[in-house]
Amino acid sequence: ELMNSDKKVLLDFWAPWCGPCNLLSPVLEEIAASRADIKVCKVNIDEERDLASQYKVYRIPTMLIMSQGQEEERIIGARPKEELLSLFE
């Protein structure tokens, strides 16, 4: 799904026990609901350890902006909605 998306993908690595991840979750939901040109995907690192390892995710929240399966940008830590959206301009 990630590799074949014709949209830019915001891939969020998170965990349910992570406070900043939980603060970021509503922001990502707003982005997903308001921007049809961005696909938001969430990866629970507790359930997908191999995927987190493959993308070298060592701290959470970590968000990757992907285009055609390739990483374009890496954001570590919670960020405001406006800052995240500015990365897609």
Show the CA angle centred on residue 22, arms to residues 61 and 18, nearest 5°: 55
Catalytic residue among 9, 11, 21, 65: 21
* Catalytic residue flag (residue 41): no
* Catalytic residue flag (residue 21): yes
Question: SS3 of 10, please?
Answer: strand
Tokens for 12? 């969020």
Catalytic residue among 18, 43, 57, 60: 18
Return the active site residues. Answer: 18, 21
